Structure 1
């Protein structure tokens, strides 16, 4: 890869990407609902977490009976989270603590808000920066997700990863327009040559047939959706986009960030049983369609209840996925990143 792929803005710090209300800022009916679904009055509320991309409440609560729980609450000011909270609660109830997911304590509506109370998990975010130990622990968790039998996966989700990601029309249109020159390359992402851009678009259009599968895919696995417990086990949180797809998708989705921070992504891919027998073209098609998705959405205004750092995250994802794909396919940057 050329230096053009490294000539980019500072990396997103996933520990500090949100501005959320504190527990005391919530309407009384919402605070009461959290206590009700938690099963005990709230005695102490820790400061809201600063990870994630929505403006919804999220934080640790200590209850009168001594339990600690993690609570989320979303209202009309955060419409994305308002839909996501009950969706995640339903998915987590079906998972019932399997594959490192947190258990649900309780969930429900509170006037025009939605709340969920989950098992509290102590740990640190991986990838701050990525270390070999964190990468190995994350890989072990990806193996655990992939081991869930297909019949149990079908009980958790009916969503198809191939349809939701591989056949996403906005992503594919973005790749086509970048290749044709109808669209400018987004800020912070190096331009490819005409031939490389054509190849990128062609790869993206193959993703729908390459991303079929019957295994559990979290589909949004990134540093702030994982916690490394003190014992080294990685717990996966924020289960909003769960789908059925290839066993390798979640792990491959993390490799570009690991490569960007100096880890041997090629070696990890070669050694992983998740990728045994998987054609390079399948991996590259996945990388391509994600580049299209991130490049498309990075150019949109942020929606209500989110911060501009969401778009910085999407530009970083497009940039790192493109860098690793270019490395895998022997491309070099044809131009500099847009500033």
Structure 2
């Protein structure tokens, strides 16, 4: 059985004091004040880039990120996130952008500090309700605003992902074995999974906001019970229900009645169950393929454990929804 990652502790990051002096000065400039106290770097996420809470000399608190050449993914993601957050301007649960800058070969981002805790440790009904509320807020953004944020498409980038589709075909034909820790489907059901995955390109067409990376460590539940969504660098366009459905497999794994929650959600009202299953199926293909790949430079091995565990939960949910047995 795959071991579930502890999303509160998946990475070790440099401390603020360990950043190069020009980078620290650049963060202070972007924040608009000197740093009075640098709290310990966060231990969530999967890159080795700096990320931490800072208390400023003017009394404010901010959250800062900084990435250099040793964290190439974060180095590319930070300016993309800065652009998106600048356009969102604090809407749809996103943190407000305080400042961003490039310092030499480093990229810096300073954000509103959000007081809150990670949901889903494990998932409870209250956490699920908070996450659902956040998904409703994302869904409320008008398509014209979404189009200004991104020209990418979930249907093209995920629904037509050649590696995911090839993985499903190989699982169906027996050319690929199911990874250790993921109970396999029967051959007939593996072929049905591949058929569903082939429908994802059509099922995921849409023009609404999709965060596309919603997981426990990318949300914070505030003391008032509102879920705030962070890490906005994978934003794309698709159906309103995708972010919510993407949370359901782990909730089901933790014992919540996700079929009841799905039936009650306005996000899924009138949505064809086959479209939902197609989304789950293509993500099984993506996750099964990804979880056995070498770790990319600048990321941590915990990302593969995350993908393996998610492959297990996504496979289990689609099997449950279709009445399939796992062997």
Q: TM-score, normalised by structure 2?
A: 0.99
Quote the RMSD (CA, aligned, Å).
Answer: 0.7
Counterpart selection for 2:269 from 261, 264, 276: 276
Asked if 1:200 corresponds to 2:189, the answer is no
Preserved CA contact (<8 Å) 1:297 1:314: yes
Q: Distance in 2 between matches of 1:317 and 1:302?
A: 17
Contact 1:166 1:208 in 2 (8 A): yes
Give the whole-Å Cα distance in 2 for the aligned partners of 1:286 and 1:19: 33
Q: Following superposition, which runs of at least 4 residues in structure 1 exceed 6 angstroms of deviation?
A: none
1:261 alignment counterpart: 254
| Alpha carbons 1:201, 1:288 under 8 Å: kept | yes
2:160–2:200 CA contact under 8 A, matched in 1:
yes
Counterpart check, 1:156 vs 2:155: no
Instruction: State the partner residue of 2:162.
Output: 169
Matched, 1:71 2:64: yes
Shift of 1:151: 1.2
Alpha-carbon shift at residue 159 of structure 1 (Å): 1.1
- Report the CA distance between 1:262 and its aligned residue: 0.5
**After superposition, what is the alpha-carbon deviation per residue over 1:215-240, rounded to whole angstroms, capped at 9, x for unaligned?**
10000000000000000010000001
2:306 is equivalent to residue 313 of structure 1 = yes
- Distance in 1, Cα, partners of 2:62 & 2:242: 30
2:318 paired residue number: 325
Distance 1:184 1:32 in 2: 51
Which residue pairs with 2:96 in the alignment?
A: 103
Q: Is 2:219 the partner of 1:226?
A: yes
- Cα distance in structure 2, aligned partners of 1:240 and 1:166: 19
Corresponding residue for residue 107 of structure 2? 114
2:20 matched to which residue of 1?
A: 27
Indicate the residue corresponding to 1:4 in structure 2: none
Q: Does 1:288 align with 2:281?
A: yes
Alpha-carbon distance in 2 for matches of 1:23, 1:33: 12
**1:13 partner SS:** coil
The alignment covers a number of residue pairs equal to 327
Q: Does 1:211 align with 2:204?
A: yes
**Secondary structure in structure 2 of the residue aligned to 1:314:** helix
C-alpha contact (below 8 Å) 1:18/1:306 kept by paired residues = no
- Give the corresponding residue for 1:3: none
Check the 8 A contact 2:2/2:182 in 1, yes or no: no
Name the stretch that deviates more: 146-155 or 205-214. Answer: 146-155
1:181 aligns with 2:171: no
Partners of 2:273 and 2:305 in 1: CA distance? 28
Unaligned stretches of 5+ residues in structure 1:
1-7, 335-339
Corresponding residue number in structure 2 for 1:9: 2
Displacement after TM superposition at 1:122 (Å): 0.7
1:187 positional shift: 1.9
> Within 1, Cα distance between the matches of 2:264 and 2:2?
31
Deviation at 1:270, TM superposition (A): 0.4
Unaligned runs of 5+ in 2: none
Tell me, what secondary structure is at the counterpart of 1:76? Answer: coil
Question: Alignment partner for residue 42 of structure 1, among 35, 50, 61?
Answer: 35
Deviation at 1:62, TM superposition (A): 0.8
TM-score when scaled to structure 1? 0.95
CA distance in 2, matches of 1:40, 1:28: 15
Which residue, 78, 82, 85 being the options, matches 1:85?
78
Q: Distance in 2 between matches of 1:108 and 1:208?
A: 37
How far did residue 134 of structure 1 move?
0.7
Q: Distance in 1 between matches of 2:281 and 2:312?
A: 11
Counterpart of 2:129 (choices 136, 146, 168) is 136
Give the CA deviation at 1:280. Answer: 0.6
SS of equivalent residue, structure 2 residue 225: coil
User: How far does residue 307 in structure 1 lie from its aligned partner after superposition?
Assistant: 1.6
